[in-house]
Amino acid sequence: MLYDIGTVFWRDWIVLRRRLGTFIFSRMIAPVLYLVAFGWGVGRSVQVSQGSYLDFIVPGILALNSMNISFNSVGGPLHTGRMYHKTLEEYLVAPISPLAFVLGKVLSGTMRGLISSVIIIILAYLFGANFHLNGLLALVLTLNCLIFAALGFVVAMLIDSHEDMGNFSTYVLLPMSFLCATFFSTDKLPSLVRWLLELLPLTHASDALRATSAGGEPTGLSWFVLTIYVAALLGISVWAMEKVRE
């Protein structure tokens, strides 16, 4: 089982290693834009309760960026692998369990999400942001990456058309990346909207990252919601892997 997870991961790793420079460079573009536009540009005239606006949005940028990278690095290639290159077949006819394949793919998406998070942290320091780096922050980031890598897996298995893959990002990921406590605090939103946002994993990832980067601890509710999402989406991934044979 571990060996099979390693095999699936190894394949993604050698593909990434070949383009590591390009990968890292392209991952810098979006965070730099966010940091310039919101940190420098908008941030100068915005007051938040804790420190500068730049300090406030760095955890948000980390949350939304690790979400996008983890989702896209599993969802995109797996979808083309299943629908166009048919490379998924090689794994389906191999004597490995569906869970091993799911974990290998999700872990490789998580790795990409974490690499891009490290890039953002370095950039944020260069931009002069203040925040605490600690084990809890790394743990929250990892959970967030696991959630969206697994979501990418599920979506790639269940959606057949390339266009609908794009639509999923537009309807689900894009709204989350703006609404889930990434660029502003949800405190002042109407309670119904706030309640809805509390159901989404990215809200808790942003809150938890903000808490740890300020030197505090995430709430128990955030840990609970993030863990539930990881478990549920991994379970659905295995189910989707079985369903894809039909």
Partner 1 sequence: MLTRRTSGTIKINGWQAPADEHKIKAILGIVPQHFNLDPDLSVWENLDLHGRLQHMLPNVRHERTAELLEYVELSERGADRVQNLSGGMKRRLMIARALLHRPQILFLDEPTVGLDPQVRRRLWDLIRRLNSENITVLLTTHYIEEAENLCGRVAILDKGKLIALDSPAELCQRVGSYVTEWAADDGRETRFFPSREQAAEFAGELTMTTTIRRSNLEDVFVELTGRKGIG
Q: Which residues form the interface with partner 1 (CB under 8 A)?
A: 3-4, 7, 10-11, 14-15, 81, 85-87, 89-96, 245-246
Comparing CB distances to partner 1, the nearer of 95 and 190 is 95
CA angle (170 as vertex; 166, 176 as ends), nearest 5: 135
Q: How far is the CB of 153 from partner 1 (least distance, A)?
A: 18
Q: Taking the mean position of all CA atoms in its chain, how far away is CA 94?
A: 29
Least Å distance, CB 72 to partner 1, is 16
Q: How far is CA 25 from the centre of its chain?
A: 18
Q: How far is the CB of 92 from partner 1 (least distance, A)?
A: 5
C-beta closer to partner 1: residue 86 or 132: 86
- Which residue, 5, 147, 137, is CA-closest to 75? 147
Is residue 70 within 8 Å of 129, Cβ to Cβ?
Answer: no
Q: Give, rounded to a whole angstrom, the gap between the first and last alpha carbons of the chain.
A: 24
Rank residues 84 and 199 by Cβ distance to partner 1 and give the closer one.
84
The nearer residue to partner 1, 49 or 84, going by C-beta atoms, is 84
Residue with smaller CB distance to partner 1, 81 or 235: 81
Q: How far is the CB of 234 from partner 1 (least distance, A)?
A: 21
Q: Which of 70, 77, 148 is nearest to 113 (CA)?
A: 70
Q: How far is the CB of 157 from partner 1 (least distance, A)?
A: 14
Q: In terms of CB distance, is 98 or 235 closer to partner 1?
A: 98
Least separation, in Å, of the C-beta of 168 and partner 1? 23
Burial of 3 (0-12, 13-18, 19+ CB in 10 A): exposed
Spatial distance between the Cα atoms of 19 and 15, rounded to a whole number of angstroms: 7
